[in-house]
């Protein structure tokens, strides 16, 4: 089987195709060869080019930084020439600014300009304060993309640097892209809730399966690879027990460009799946600590793994609250139709990924992915914002949000 070309817009190295990057044209993204050329020739880089490259850098931490945000950084010398770049690679390890500063001498930093996608942190957590470190350097300017909404940081990081005599500015452009690159973190901080994304693969007429339940496969191999990339982006994947019993999926991450052991959440009101632990792939694929089974109280069936008991699995807000207590900060809901409809009905989905194949099934044989969603008036239709469409071999992906990173949430 030929390896599918997965990197973003022809970049020569793997870059996750996150929503923040989908609208950036090829002429605005710099490959490693472009960066090498700029360094070798001493070419200048504009602040916009540097911020876009910082966005690309930020995306590289997509599978390993949670609950921290994705952050990228680029440093230009006093003449505006590229010096270095870095990103936050893993939770608990050095932040983007620290990674970009590695190996640079103090004389190289004299009068330099640091560009970073998110305001440098003011506090010390698992790592020291980036703002305090930056304040000790002979930089002339720091440009950051967004104010960090964390109350331990918000405005404080910028002020620490400003008090050291370094010019500080918030970058006025690319706000949508800057917000999207760390949208889960922004939602967590502003709402203190799990960020929920839904992924669905359908025909052009909105069918995700036959009415018999058969669904493998509607979209093509390229879309399925992309779906595995999405699983790596979120803390856990959530499905209903009907999907587990019907498809017997492993729900692991299988991708040629990265490895990650993911967590899986199964909604199973009466614990039906727990009675088939010997023959379902999901139990042999995942360690018990990474498999979270959510049941109604009294249906635990002596399960020895991660168990969440709730009054009703249909009370999704309670389910999400319990998952938050377990440390989950983002969730990819993959179905089936009833689960997807319930999340939409209760307006609990922040982002939708809709993969569509150029095929038709028809309403007589096909099962709609919103079959249990009942909206009685056109005024009540759910509307996506910040839409982006990208080709996926013969399929295409449409993605958008139902909110504005918490600013307009109910």
What pLDDT is attached to residue 9?
38
Q: Any residues with CB less than 8 A from the CB of 378 and at least 6 apart, and which?
A: none
- Following DSSP, what letter does each residue of 7-27 receive, concatenated? SGGG-SS-----HHHHTS-GG
Q: Are 357 and 182 in contact (CB under 8 A)?
A: no
What pLDDT is attached to residue 350?
96
Show the tokens assigned to 88. 């936050």
pTM for the model stands at: 0.89
pLDDT tens per residue, range 230-277: 999 999 999 999 989 988 989 998 887 778 889 999 999 999 999 999
What pLDDT is attached to residue 368?
85
What's the start-to-end Cα distance of the chain, in Å?
47
What pLDDT is attached to residue 369?
87
310 in helix, strand or coil?
strand
Rounded Cα distance, 345 and 128, in Å: 43
Show the tokens assigned to 344. 């939409």
400 in helix, strand or coil?
strand
Q: Any residues with CB less than 8 A from the CB of 254 and at least 6 apart, and which?
A: 228
Name the residues annotated as catalytic.
Answer: 97
What pLDDT is attached to residue 209?
81
pLDDT tens per residue, range 109-139: 999 999 999 999 987 777 788 999 999 999 9
Which of the residues in the chain have pLDDT under 70?
1-14, 23-36, 39-42, 404-410
Rounded Cα distance, 338 and 111, in Å: 58
Q: Are 210 and 367 in contact (CB under 8 A)?
A: yes
- Domains in the chain (CATH in brackets) are 8-181 (3.40.140.10), 184-401 (3.40.430.10)
Rounded Cα distance, 273 and 187, in Å: 32
What pLDDT is attached to residue 31?
60
Angle of CA points 21, 22, 27, to nearest 5°: 75
């Amino acid at each position: 089987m030929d390896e599918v070309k997965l990197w973003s817009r022809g970049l020569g190295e793997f870059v996750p195709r996150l929503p923040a990057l989908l609208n950036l044209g090829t002429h605005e993204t710099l490959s490693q060869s472009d960066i090498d050329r700029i360094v070798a020739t001493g070419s200048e880089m504009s602040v916009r080019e540097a911020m876009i490259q910082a966005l690309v850098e930020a995306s590289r931490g997509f599978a390993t930084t949670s609950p921290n945000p994705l952050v990228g950084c680029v440093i230009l010398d006093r003449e505006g020439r590229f010096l270095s770049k870095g990103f936050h690679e893993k939770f608990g390890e050095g932040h983007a600014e620290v990674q970009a500063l590695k190996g640079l001498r103090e004389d190289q930093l004299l009068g330099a300009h640091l560009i970073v996608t998110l305001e440098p942190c003011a506090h010390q957590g698992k790592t020291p304060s980036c703002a305090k470190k930056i304040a000790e350097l002979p930089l002339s300017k720091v440009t950051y993309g967004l104010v960090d909404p964390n109350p331990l940081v918000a405005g404080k990081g910028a002020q620490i640097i400003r008090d050291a005599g370094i010019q500080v500015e918030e970058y006025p452009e690319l706000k949508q892209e800057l917000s999207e690159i760390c949208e889960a973190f922004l939602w967590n901080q502003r709402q203190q809730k799990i960020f929920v994304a839904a992924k669905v693969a359908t025909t052009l007429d909105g069918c995700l399966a036959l009415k018999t339940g058969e669904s493998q496969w509607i979209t093509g191999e390229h879309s399925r690879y992309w779906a595995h990339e999405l699983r790596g982006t979120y803390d856990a994947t959530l499905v209903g027990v009907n999907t587990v019993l019907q498809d017997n999926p492993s729900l692991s991450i299988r991708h040629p460009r990265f490895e990650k052991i993911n967590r899986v959440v199964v909604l199973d009101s009466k614990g039906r799946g727990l009675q088939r632990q010997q023959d379902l792939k999901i139990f042999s694929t995942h360690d018990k600590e990474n498999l979270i089974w959510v049941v109604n109280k009294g249906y635990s069936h002596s399960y020895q793994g991660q168990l969440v008991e709730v009054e009703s699995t249909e009370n999704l807000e309670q389910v999400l609250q319990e998952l938050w207590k377990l440390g989950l900060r983002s969730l990819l809901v993959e179905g089936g139709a009833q689960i997807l409809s319930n999340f939409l009905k209760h307006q609990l989905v922040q982002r939708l990924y809709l993969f569509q194949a150029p095929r038709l099934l028809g309403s007589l044989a096909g099962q709609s992915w919103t079959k249990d969603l009942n909206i009685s008036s056109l005024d009540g239709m759910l509307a996506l914002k910040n839409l982006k469409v990208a080709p996926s071999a013969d399929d295409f992906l449409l993605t958008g949000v139902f909110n504005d990173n918490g600013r307009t949430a109910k």
